[in-house]
Amino acid sequence: MNALLSIWTWLEVALVALVGFFVQLFLLAVTFLFDKRRYVVGRCFRLVGVTAAKLTPYWRFGVHGNVPDRVAPNTVVVSNHESNADPFLISHLPWEMKWLGKKSLFKVPVVGWMMGIAGDIPVERGDRDSATGAMARCKQWMQKGMPVMIFPEGTRSKTEELLPFKDGAFRLAIEMQADVLPLAVSGTRLALPKHSWRFATSRGLVTVGTPISTKGMTLDDVESLKNQARAQIEALRASLKPLTGSAAPVPAADANAAR
């Protein structure tokens, strides 16, 4: 039954994405000459993700706590990364930002095209030149007044423990003298488990932390900045776990029995 429902859900997500793609193309044609930040087509893409999440029978996603209507343009947003469902959840936040994502995602038909139109930034893992180019594009967006979104773990964690944070997001913030805004997600680990195509019932929440100023910091402060952001994310995630029912890992057998 789970396999059949998962197939149906993938079809629903694909249909929503396809319709959203044509809407995004129309908006691109209308706004291309004056929307240099690609705000409209970017928000369109995020709202397509929100719509797909709301129509997915397995998921109940939302935002917890007080959330600002907007963030400072010169901001690097960072979050923990539990599953491929995280972008669907984080897209519930009410502001636009350009996402750093692995290059292979941009090759996925429709969704990858939409990421490119939205202005998201591809990066090849383990490729120094690609990473350098991606950071340059992040700077360009920030100079245009558009925040950027980066998962500092670099990939999804297979356990409840956060992976080590990479330096990139924090070097970028210091070089731009930008704020770092920590987010935390909880409850998405089972929503779309790593290396699995099957959906699972999930209550996912995202919450927003306190901006960390980098004014006056130098690259010698990267490690301190990472630690500050990590501490916030861990505390925020801990506050969400009782609300998402993910205070402890759920054994696979129990998860299957609950379906």
How confident is the model over 161-179, as pLDDT tens digits? 899 999 999 999 999 999 9
More confident residue, 191 or 157: 191
Pair type for strands 179-186 and 202-208: antiparallel
Domain boundaries of the chain, sorted by first residue:
2-246
Over residues 26-56, the pLDDT tens digits come to 999 999 999 999 999 999 999 999 999 999 9
Residue 247 confidence (pLDDT): 60
The lowest-confidence range among 81-90, 163-172, 247-256 is 247-256
Residue 217 confidence (pLDDT): 97
Share of the chain above pLDDT 90, in %: 80
Q: Given CATH 3.40.1130.10, say whether it is the number of domain 2-246.
A: yes
Helices (H), the chain: 2-31, 39-55, 86-90, 111-118, 128-143, 168-175, 222-244, 252-258
